[in-house]
Every structure is written in structure tokens, then in C-alpha cells.
Chain A
Amino acid sequence: MNKDLYNYIIGIADNSLILGQRLGELCGHGPSLETDIAGTNISLDLFGQVRSYFQYAAQVSGDENATEDTLAFLRIEREYKNVLLVEQPNTDFAYTIVRQFYFDAFHLLFLKALETSKDETLAAIAKKSIKEVSYHWRFSSDWVRRLGDGTEESHTRVLEAVNELWMYTDELFHQTEADKAMIAQGIGVETLALKETYYKMIGDVLEEATLPIPESKYWHKGGKQGIHTEHMGYILSDMQYMQRTYPNMEW
């Protein structure tokens, strides 16, 4: 088994998995039918990507019992490698949108770079996903503009979310040992090279939205090492409930 490649795929997939799960929680509870449908759409896209990544990871793992579902549902919390940003709760629509906005900008840049990966499978998944994620970015950045430059209340709420979630953005660019090994082989994305463009993309939209760019440099990290916020355990106990309660069954 190529352990670095396996860990690399898991790292990418877990972001989509946990964000997809968070969005799925909102299905049927959105502020309007249109936003409800859009949120579900994004969740569906993310799960679609997750399945492609996990099917590939299962193959790479060399473990013949590994499947997309064992990877999604049967790991322990410390083995999930998503960034802390995506596990943050759906506090309100502003938090949901800003979490999405911070992630989408990264996700889009990341996939555009991954498209040129030497690993053909990853390049193909990236190619397919770019179209979807371009739409996610358009949706979330449009809503940041609307909320920022909307009413006084929406401005206050979105500003709070922008400030509260800011500390999780830096982790998007962190590199694990597996990341570094994959970058060296021309398979992984050199995330540090995306950082400047990322903060410019975010900054431009915030400016249009009449929102000040946060200045704090106190970053939070840990997700990529499997050390999560306290939210994560609850996400997993919900998500893993069926697989844990009824082991070794087909659904």
C-alpha cells in the first residue's frame, strides 16, 4: 500500500465528507425553498466527490475489506483528517454561508491545481469537481455580498461569522507528512502557493460586501492531525449510528 497516497486522499475527502454532512443537517430547514435546494445541491456534490475519493482510497489501501463505507463510517475520530473549519456548526445562515465561503475559495483553487496532478485518478476527480465547486463559490460569495450589504441585521450577523470563523482559515494550507511526500512526487498540491490568491479572493468579496477583513493572526489547527473540536464527536455519533449499531450488514 502507498501509505502517503492513501493518507493524502483521506485528507482531501474528509473535508468534503464532513462539510456535506453539516449541510445535510439543514435539508428542509433553510430560510427559503431556493436556498434549501441550493444547500442540498452542494451537499450532494460533496458526497459525490467523497465517494470517488473513498473508492480510490479503498483501492489504494490494499485492504480488501475496505470500501467507501468502511472509510466513511468506521474510523475513530482521531483518524478523520478534515480541517476544523468544515466541522463548525450551523449556528445560523450567516455561519453556514461564511463556512462555505471560506472553504469554497480554497477548494476551487485546490482542485484547479489538483487537475494537473501526476496521479490520473485524482486529476480526473478534480476535473469533474471544478465545475461543481465553481458554482458553490458563486453561491456562497454572492450570499456574503447580499448579507454584508443587505440590512443592518444581516451585516452584523455575517460580520460575526466572518470574524468567528476566520481563525480556521489558515489550517487549509497546512501540510501533513503525507501532503509533503505527495507534493514532492508531483501528485499533491503545493498549498502554500495558493495562500496569497486565496486571501485576495476572500478579501475582494468582503470588500464588496462592505465587511472589514479580519486582522487576527491567532490561528486554530489540529484537524489535519485528527485533533478536532468538540463538535466532531457528535457529528460522528450521528453519522456512524447505523453502521455502529448494526455492524456487517448491507443496506
Chain B
Amino acid sequence: MSDKEVKNLEDLFDARIARDEKIEPKDWMPEKYRKTHIRQISQHAHSEIVGMLPEGNWISRAPSLRRKVALLAKVQDEAGHGLYLYSACETLGVSREELYEQLHSGKAKYSSIFNYPTVTWADMGAIGWLVDGAAIINQVPLCSTSYGPYARAMIRVCKEESFHQRQGFEIMLKLSNGSQEQKDMAQDALNRWWWPSLMMLGPTDAESVHTAQSMKWKLKRKTNDELRQQFIDQTVPQAELLGLTIPDPDLKWNEETGHYDFGEIDWDEFWQVVKGHGPSNKKRMKDRVGAWERGEWVRDAAMAHAKKKEERKNQTKKAV
């Protein structure tokens, strides 16, 4: 194809997106669109499955049967999200094994929030309330993104995420109305998860390398800073309702802008975690890689068994 022809195709492609048409797996797409989508969707899928670990850490110790069941179901939902996101990614011509390989080798990233340890039960509340809250803000716009399989996966994901967020808030509410120990536990969790949750919405616009292109493809509808502001505005009244204090002395309502002003985010910490040196990066990867390696003989057995069954079926057919 000549450069001119490609240019024509690209113009037609851009026009389709501008008309809000969905791009489907068999449609022509620019190579960069394909690559960007593989990167973003797989990063999202990886976040779901690595995200199972910090919460999975409390399943065996959940304080009541009701909480244990809810937590198990939540972590299972995350595995389900991982599954449909990997499937959406596979429609772009990459296999799940390749994607895992990228995760395990450190080439692919996942949300840095999961590199913080879950040290008390209240962290289950804080993660649901704050982390899922921030995730929803990030993800709702993706329900109408241009790539069809991703948009459809996101509709399901978002429905479940908002349920998780309410569940998290409810854990926090119970703690806040509980004993002094429970209140302290809730406040401590908010103190530890607040800043990482703000960082979760990505680097400031000035530092964000992918924003412009992603906006054009509707992979993004708002900039990171706009999303962060939205998250803060939404969460501060919720913290007040819980009777908890957000750990930011500079946080205050600004009448003029109609938004909350907030303090400086420690971006050095953010980049340290992104680069693999957060409190739990090594543990998370060790757990993921470990599960994958320990599971190899199981996956091999399933393949070998399926092959044997197929061969036997063929032999029976021949005999008939």
C-alpha cells in the first residue's frame, strides 16, 4: 500500500471514530491504534489479576462469614474482569501467554496502587471505597471508547466495580461507627491509601505522554488532572460522612473554582513505585510468577489430555 493510500485509510478511520462508530477486530486499523490498545487493555487486565493479591491476603482472616463471602466474590469478580479484558486484548492478535510473559518480565505495567501492602482489615474497606472509586472514574468513560470489544468489556466491569465501591464504603462505615479501635483502624487505612489513590489517576497532564493521542481515539475523555479533581470532589464529602479526616492539611473548598484545593502529591514516590521499587512490587511479581510456574504442569496436563481425547475420538471414527 502506498503512503497515500494509508493516509486515506487513516482519514476514513479517524472519521469513523469522530462519528462515534465502533471499531471491530476485523476492521482495518492503524498499527499504532492496535499497539496502543494492546498496551492499555493488557495493562488493565494485569491490574485486575495483580489486584487480586492484596485483597486475597485477607480472605482467610475476614472477620465474619458475611464479609468473607463478599470478599471472595469480589476477588473472583476481578479474576472475571481479567478474563474478559485478556479476551478483548486477544482480538487484537496477541495471545494471553504473550501478555503474561510481558507482565512477568516487567515489560508490561499494572496499576501501581497494588504495590502497597494490605496490613489491616480496614484496608479492605479503603481499597473498595478509594481504589475502586478512583478506578470507576477512570473507567466509566471507557464504556464508550472506540474499540468495540474493550467498550463492551468495560460496561460489565463498571457495573461490578460500582458494587465493589459501595461494599468498601460499607466496610468503612461499619468501622467508623464501631469501637475506638475500629475507628482508628479506619483512619489509619485512609491515611495510607489516600495519596496512592490520587496517584492512581496517573501523572500530571504535563508529564503524561499518551494523553493527546488517547483523547483522539476516545481511550480517554478527560485528562488525568481533571479525573483526579473529580475523584477528590466526590470523595471528600464521603470522608466527612464517615467522620474521617483526609490526611492533607492543604485540602480546602475553593468557592471560586467550585472544587477542592489539595496539597502537593509526592511524585517521587509515584515514580519509585512505577519503576518497581514500591513496598510490595517484588512480592506481587513473585506471587504471580510463582503461580504461573507452579501451574505449568497443570496446564500441560490439560493440553495433553485434550489431545489424547481428540486422537481417541478420531480413531473411533476411523474404525467406524
Instruction: Render A7-44 as a binary contact track against B, CB cut-off 8 A, 1 for contact.
Output: 00000000000000100110111111111110011011
B298 contact from A25, A32, A72, Cβ within 8 A: A32
Q: Which of A114-122, A181-189, A192-200, A235-243 contacts B (4 or more CB under 8 A)?
A: A235-243
Query: Are B56 and A44 in contact, CB atoms less than 8 angstroms apart?
Result: no
Question: Which residues of A are found within 8 Å of B86, using beta-carbon distances?
Answer: 33
- Closest chain B residue, CB of each to CB of A238: B60
Q: Which residue of A21, A35, A145, A151 contacts B297 across the interface (Cβ within 8 Å)?
A: A151
Q: For residue B80, which residue of chain A has the nearest CB?
A: A37
Count of residues in A whose CB is under 8 Å from the partner chain: 47
Q: Are A151 and B300 in contact (CB under 8 A)?
A: yes
A231 CA to B219 CA, complexed, in Å: 50
| B120 nearest in chain A by CB position | A242
Q: Considering the chains assembled together, what is the distance between the CA atoms of A157 and B297 in angstroms?
A: 10
Q: Which of A43-79 contact B (CB under 8 A)?
A: 43-44, 47-48, 50-51, 54, 68-69, 72-73
Task: Say if the beta carbon of A173 comes within 8 Å of chain B.
Answer: no
| A101–chain B nearest beta-carbon distance, Å | 15
A31: contacting residue among B56, B65, B299, CB under 8 A: B299
A238 partner residues in chain B, CB cutoff 8 A: 60-61
Contact B73 A28 (CB under 8 A): no
Nearest B residue (CB) for A24: B59
Interface status of A175 (Cβ within 8 A of chain B) = no
B295 at the A/B interface (Cβ < 8 Å)? yes
Q: List B145-189 residues whose CB lies under 8 Å from chain A.
A: 171, 174-175, 178-179, 181-182
**Cα–Cα distance between A46 and B130 once the two chains are bound (Å):** 30
- Which residues of B lie under 8 Å from residue A24 when comparing CB positions? 59-60, 68, 72
Interface string of B70-104 (1 = CB under 8 A from A): 00110110011011001000000000000000000
Q: Do A68 and B75 touch (CB < 8 A)?
A: no
Give A92 to B301 CA distance when docked, in angstroms: 14
Q: Which residues of the other chain, B, contact A92 by a CB distance below 8 angstroms?
A: 294
The answer to whether A93 has its CB under 8 Å from any CB of chain B is: yes
Closest to A69 in B: B64
Chain B residue contacts of A50, Cβ below 8 A: 65
Q: B140 near A: Cβ within 8 Å?
A: no
Instruction: Knowing A31-B295, A51-B65, A241-B61, say if A154 contacts B76 (CB, 8 Å).
Output: no
B319 proximity list for chain A (CB < 8 A): none
Judge whether A230 is part of the interface by a CB distance below 8 angstroms.
Answer: no
Instruction: Give bound CA distance, A31 to B171, whole Å.
Output: 31
Q: Which partner residue on chain A sits nearest B51 by CB separation? A: A28
List chain B residues, Cβ under 8 A from A239: 60-61
Q: Which of A30, A40, A54: most chain B CB closer than 10 A?
A: A40
When distances are taken between beta carbons in the complex, the residues of chain A under 8 Å from B299 are: 31-32
Determine whether B305 belongs to the interface, using a CB cutoff of 8 Å to chain A.
yes
Task: State which of A30, A44, A150 has its C-beta within 8 Å of the C-beta of B69.
Answer: A44
Are B181 and A246 touching (Cβ within 8 A)?
A: yes
A27 to B171, CA, bound (A): 21
Q: Are B76 and A251 in contact (CB under 8 A)?
A: no
Given the contacts A147-B298, A251-B174, A29 and B61 also touching, CB distance less than 8 Å: no
20 contacts between A and B (CB under 8 A): A24-B59, A28-B53, A31-B291, A31-B294, A32-B299, A33-B49, A37-B76, A40-B79, A44-B72, A51-B66, A54-B65, A146-B302, A147-B305, A149-B308, A151-B301, A238-B60, A241-B61, A242-B61, A242-B121, A249-B179
Further 10 A-B residue pairs, CB within 8 A, beyond A47-B69, A93-B294, A249-B63: A27-B75, A29-B287, A31-B295, A33-B79, A44-B73, A44-B76, A47-B65, A73-B64, A146-B302, A151-B300
Per CB-CB distance, the 9 closest pairs between chain A and chain B, nearest first, are A31-B295, A150-B301, A154-B301, A242-B63, A28-B56, A28-B52, A31-B298, A251-B63, A146-B305
- Which A positions have Cβ atoms within 8 angstroms of B? 21, 24-25, 27-37, 40-41, 43-44, 47-48, 50-51, 54, 68-69, 72-73, 92-93, 145-147, 149-151, 153-154, 157, 238-239, 241-243, 246, 249-251
